[in-house]
Structures are given as C-alpha cells and as structure tokens.
C-alpha cells in the first residue's frame, strides 16, 4: 500500500511503524489522541477508486490524516462496494489495533453508509455494523462518520 499525508508527501515507512512514530510524537507533545479509520469510494465509468484514511484527532487541537488510494477496474453492485469499503477499513484497524491498545487510544471505524433506508447505501448497514462490532471496534455511520464521509470522500 502507498500511504501519503494530505499534503501529498509519501509515507515511506511501513504504515504500522509510521503510525507508532506519530503516536509517540503526539503523546510527547502532550496531545490526547483519538483515531478514526474510514474508507470511501467513487465510481467513474469502470473505475472504482477507494480512499482509506487514518485520522488522528488531537483533543481540542485539530487533527491530520494518512491516506491510501487504490483504483480497481470492475463493475460492482452498491452492496458489495459498501462492504469492500468496510473491509478495507477493518483490515487497517486490525493491523494497527495492538498499537491503539498499547497506547490506550480510542479507535472508531467509520462507514459511508446512510442509516436512512431511502438511500442506496443502506442495503449494507446491518452487515457493516455486525462486521465492525463483531471485530470489537466502535462503529459510526452517517452523519457521525466524518472519516469516511468527509475526509476519505475529499481525497
């Protein structure tokens, strides 16, 4: 995976190492952190671009994020695309979860799924919620899922 910062600079370390260094730096600076992980996707013709973000929130002092983008060429139903978004977020959360436990940092997994049944993305809500909660993570959907619906959506 090719991770980068919002300014476009590449993260050359393995993501787990980069996240741990970031946590240590932020803790040394006296910041209380909360981490939110989310993925969003956009369809353009036969291309689907997935953007996954790791958002570091400094309590009362803003935040920043690490970003990974990936494009696949395929046709996909909305339900599968939503579950693929969730899977990408859960994979990263799982890879990093021991760090969050070690440093006592709360983790939320955000999904770009609308709880309102009139929206197409809602077809995957129960499945996504069960997947995330079953993995032991805090689940957030729209309108509280800013990591996926705002941060990942922008990139």
Predicted pLDDT of residue 95: 97
> Which burial class, exposed, middle or buried, applies to 58 when counting CB atoms under 10 A from its CB (0-12, 13-18, 19+)?
middle
Mean per-residue pLDDT, 1-27:
95
Tokens of 64: 């920043």
* pLDDT at 115 (0 to 100): 87
Q: Contact 55/151 with Cβ under 8 angstroms?
A: yes
Q: Indicate the SS3 state at residue 33.
A: strand
Structure-block tokens of residue 31: 């910041």
What's the pLDDT band for 152 if we cut at 50, 70, 90? low
Q: How confident is the model at residue 153 (pLDDT cuts 50, 70, 90)?
A: low
Provide the Cα torsion 19, 21, 27, 33; round to 10°: -10
Cα angle 131, 132, 133 (rounded to 5 degrees) comes to 95
Please check the confidence at residue 155 and state whether its pLDDT lies above 70. Answer: no
pLDDT in the model for residue 154:
60
pLDDT over threshold 90, residue 108? yes
Q: How confident is the model at residue 112 (pLDDT cuts 50, 70, 90)?
A: confident
pLDDT at 141 over 80: yes
């Amino acid at each position: 995976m090719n991770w980068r910062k919002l300014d476009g600079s590449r993260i050359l370390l393995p993501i787990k190492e980069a996240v741990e260094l970031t946590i240590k730096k932020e803790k040394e600076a006296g910041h209380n952190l909360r981490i939110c992980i989310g993925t969003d996707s956009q369809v353009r013709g036969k291309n689907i671009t997935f953007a996954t973000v790791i958002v570091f929130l400094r309590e009362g002092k803003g935040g920043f994020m690490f970003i990974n983008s990936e494009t696949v060429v395929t046709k996909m139903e909305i339900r599968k695309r939503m579950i693929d978004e969730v899977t990408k977020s859960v994979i990263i959360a799982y890879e990093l979860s021991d760090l969050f436990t070690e440093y006592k940092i709360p983790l939320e997994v955000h999904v770009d799924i609308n709880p309102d049944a009139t929206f197409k993305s809602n077809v995957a809500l129960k499945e996504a919620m069960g997947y995330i909660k079953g993995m032991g993570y805090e689940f957030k959907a729209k309108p509280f899922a800013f990591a996926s619906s705002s941060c990942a959506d922008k990139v």
